């Protein structure tokens, strides 16, 4: 990633940049071929900006299911952004609201519909991996939401009861003793909400698999093809890239945390890209595994507002991630790596001597209402978008690509009584988003240290 890049004020995230160094890059193997940079001029039925999970899934489903020629325009390499550098947690998650909050906001029926859709999105990952023969080290597991302080455990018990009662879902609450005996020990394991459904994946291998599937189905995927301008001539969209122009009847913006403000008025002022930072340790020794009680294969998050997410990798390394800096700086990157290691060791003191072999960072996308949105521009139904996965997009980004393909093909309702399908809201005082983020982080940090 270019140094000091911020999607709020940058024209593009680069052009033809290689994947950033990470554990995933080091272990993914060679990427399948793509179609190279856009030639001098090209035409497509649908031009898709962004070659991550959403864009590749949309192109795949358009080509396979509807025979529509889709062309993906990726600034760097397929899966270069969030899709190739996340934690690899595919779980039932849509947005950042609790299930009780969903019922409060939209009523029980809509909340149930959203939850069922989150399970459908997770099943879609399984289907793609199975039917496409994608070798992404997919591991069926569960998800544990762990109380990092004793006072957070009662809320997890209530959430388990709500999921069982109102969503007919077999969530369960584990008390501190059971959690530490069967899953993970340490100083911050005070009970957990267990979801039996989750899939742990190698995210970059999954992106590679989607690239191969999209091209095998008839889609075209161009790397090193950043879109620097998007205009319209009559009913035709004209997209400018370093190599040439692309003409298309329909445009899809699938850029999530890397969405430039200039792309289209429908996304201007609607996203807050925030940094997330991940470390991967050296493999744990037998003594460290025993001392930490880190025996679970579940994917793990905690009850912080600025949550941490972690998992034990197949080679006994630990992946541990959390919020990054408000502003990207070279000095801050090293400080954040050391901060995350210290936070991991605070959770699991038996890892006091463990070291970091890999660390990297990237931009995830928040929206004003903490929900992803799949929709189209109010003034132009030929401009579509799907973004705002709130840092939990492995399953829903792939599903959103499928939803976009259905909408573009006219297969199903264009609008639905569903908050994810409502127009993308703008941030109030959008020019001050970074200042608001900084204030919110202070507030969240205070709340995470209390109660």
How many domains are there within the chain?
1
What pLDDT, on a 0 to 100 scale, did the predictor assign at position 373?
A: 96
Question: What mean pLDDT do residues 315-341 have?
Answer: 93
Q: pLDDT (tens digit, 9 = 90+) per residue, 87-130?
A: 999 999 999 999 999 999 999 999 999 999 999 999 999 999 99
Question: What mean pLDDT do residues 175-194 have?
Answer: 98
**331: confidence class by pLDDT, cuts 50, 70, 90:** confident
- Residue 430 forms part of a structural domain: no
- CATH number, domain with residue 292: 3.30.9.10
Average of per-residue pLDDT values in the chain: 95
- Residue 355 forms part of a structural domain: yes
The percent of residues above 70 in pLDDT, for the chain, comes to 98
- Residue 450 forms part of a structural domain: no
End-to-end CA distance of the chain: 38
Query: Looking at residue 316, what DSSP letter applies?
Result: S
Helical axes 394-408 vs 53-66, angle rounded to 10°: 40
- Residue 144 forms part of a structural domain: yes
Give the three-class secondary structure for 238: strand
The verdict on pTM exceeding 0.95 is yes
Q: Is the pLDDT of residue 1 over 50?
A: no
Q: Is the pLDDT of residue 173 over 80?
A: yes
Q: CA 54 to CA 95: how far, in whole Å?
A: 16
What pLDDT, on a 0 to 100 scale, did the predictor assign at position 327?
A: 87
The percent of residues above 90 in pLDDT, for the chain, comes to 92
Q: pLDDT (tens digit, 9 = 90+) per residue, 26-76?
A: 999 999 999 999 999 999 999 999 999 999 999 999 999 999 999 999 999
Residue numbers of the domain that contains 176: 138-200+274-367
Q: pLDDT (tens digit, 9 = 90+) per residue, 273-300?
A: 999 999 999 999 999 999 999 999 999 9
- Residue 195 forms part of a structural domain: yes
Give the three-class secondary structure for 329: coil
- In contact, 192 and 144? CB cutoff 8 Å: yes
- Residue 148 forms part of a structural domain: yes
Kindly list the distances between the CA atom of residue 42 and the CA atoms of 46, 54, 214, 240, 263, in Å, as whole numbers in the listed order: 11, 22, 18, 11, 19
Question: What mean pLDDT do residues 124-152 have?
Answer: 97
Q: pLDDT (tens digit, 9 = 90+) per residue, 407-448?
A: 999 987 655 568 998 999 999 999 999 999 999 999 998 999
What pLDDT, on a 0 to 100 scale, did the predictor assign at position 329?
A: 86
**330: confidence class by pLDDT, cuts 50, 70, 90:** confident
What pLDDT, on a 0 to 100 scale, did the predictor assign at position 417?
A: 60
**260: confidence class by pLDDT, cuts 50, 70, 90:** very high
- Residue 170 forms part of a structural domain: yes
- Residue 192 forms part of a structural domain: yes
Kindly list the distances between the CA atom of residue 196 and the CA atoms of 265, 297, 371, 411, in Å, as whole numbers in the listed order: 41, 12, 23, 32
């Amino acid at each position: 990633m270019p140094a000091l890049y911020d999607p709020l004020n940058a024209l593009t995230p680069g052009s033809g940049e290689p994947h950033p160094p990470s554990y995933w890059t080091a272990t993914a193997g060679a990427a399948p071929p793509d179609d190279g940079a856009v030639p001098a001029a090209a035409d497509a039925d649908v031009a898709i900006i962004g070659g991550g999970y959403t864009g590749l899934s949309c192109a795949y489903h358009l080509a396979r299911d509807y025979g529509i020629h889709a062309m993906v325009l990726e600034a760097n390499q397929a899966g270069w952004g969030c899709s190739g550098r996340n934690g690899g947690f595919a779980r039932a998650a849509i947005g950042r609201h609790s299930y009780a909050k969903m019922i409060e906001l939209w009523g029980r029926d809509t909340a149930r519909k959203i939850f069922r859709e989150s399970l459908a999105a997770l099943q879609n990952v399984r289907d793609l991996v199975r039917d496409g023969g994608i070798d992404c080290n997919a591991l069926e597991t569960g998800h544990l939401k762990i109380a990092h302080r004793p006072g957070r455990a009662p809320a997890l018990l209530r959430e388990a009861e709500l999921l069982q009662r109102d969503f007919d879902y077999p969530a369960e609450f584990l008390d501190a003793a059971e959690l530490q005996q069967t899953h993970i020990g340490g100083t911050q394991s005070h009970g957990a909400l267990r979801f039996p459904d989750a899939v742990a994946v190698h995210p970059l291998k999954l992106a590679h698999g989607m690239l191969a599937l999209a091209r095998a189905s008839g889609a075209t995927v161009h790397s090193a093809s950043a879109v620097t301008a998007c205009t319209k001539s009559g009913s035709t969209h004209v997209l400018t890239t370093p190599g040439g122009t692309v003409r298309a009847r329909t445009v899809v913006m699938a850029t999530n945390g890397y969405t430039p403000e200039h792309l289209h008025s429908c996304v201007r002022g609607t996203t807050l890209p925030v940094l997330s930072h991940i470390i991967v340790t050296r493999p744990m020794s037998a003594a460290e595994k025993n001392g930490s009680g880190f025996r679970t294969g579940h994917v793990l998050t905690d009850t912080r507002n600025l949550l941490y997410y972690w998992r034990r990798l197949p080679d006994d390394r630990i992946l541990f991630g959390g919020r990054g800096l408000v502003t990207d700086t070279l000095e801050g990157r090293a400080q954040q790596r050391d901060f995350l290691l210290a936070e991991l060791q605070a959770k699991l003191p038996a890892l006091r001597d463990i070291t970091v072999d890999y660390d990297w960072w990237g931009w995830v996308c928040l929206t004003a209402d903490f929900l992803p949105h799949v929709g189209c521009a109010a003034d132009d139904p030929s401009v579509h978008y799907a973004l705002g996965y709130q840092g939990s997009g492995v399953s829903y980004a792939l599903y959103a690509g499928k939803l976009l393909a259905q909408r573009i093909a006219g297969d199903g309702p264009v609008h639905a009584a569903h908050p994810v399908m409502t127009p993308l809201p703008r941030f109030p005082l959008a020019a001050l988003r970074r200042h608001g983020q900084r204030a919110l982080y202070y507030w969240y940090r205070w709340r995470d240290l209390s109660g």
